[in-house]
Amino acid sequence: MYVRLTYLKFLPGKTDEAKKLYYDELVPVVKKQKGNLECRLLEPTDQEDDYISMTTWDNKEDADAYQTSGVYKRLVDRVKDMVAKPPVLKVYASVSILEHA
C-alpha cells in the first residue's frame, strides 16, 4: 500500500471554503481513481500546524499513475488561492500490520 500526504497551510479566513471544496469536489475525483483506497483530510489540533490530505493506494503503479496523469496537479491547483505556501507532497510505502487480533 502507498500513502500520499499533501501538507496544506490555509490562509486565514479560507479554511472553511477550502474544506468545503475538498469534500465536495476533490474527494469524489480522487475516489474514482484506479487503486484509490481512501481519501481524507487530517485537521490539526494545533492551528499552527498544516492540514494533511491523505490518500492511500493499492499499489505504487496506481499511486504513480494518479501523479503522472495530471489529476493531482489539477486538484492542487483548485486550492492554490487558499493556501499560504505551496503544498508539499510526501509519499510513503506502508505494510499492513494487524494491530488488534
Render pLDDT for 56-100 as a digit per residue (tens, 0 to 9).
999 999 999 999 999 999 999 999 999 999 999 999 998 866 565
Looking at the domain assignment, is residue 99 inside a domain?
no
101, pLDDT greater than 60:
no
Q: What is the pLDDT of residue 94?
A: 87
Q: What is the mean pLDDT of residues 10-32?
A: 97
What does pTM read for this prediction?
0.91
Q: Write the CB contacts of 48 (distance below 8 Å, at least 6 apart in sequence).
A: none
Count of helices and strands (H, E) across the chain: 4, 4
φ, ψ of residue 51 to 5 degrees: the values are -75, 155
Q: How many domains does the chain have?
A: 1
For residues 20 and 15, give the distance between their C-alpha atoms in angstroms, rounded to a whole number: 9
What count of other Cβ atoms lies within 10 Å of the Cβ of residue 5? Answer: 15
Looking at the domain assignment, is residue 68 inside a domain?
yes
Q: Which tens digits make up the pLDDT trace of 33-44?
A: 999 999 999 999
Tell me the residue range of the domain where 68 lies.
Answer: 2-93
Looking at the domain assignment, is residue 36 inside a domain?
yes
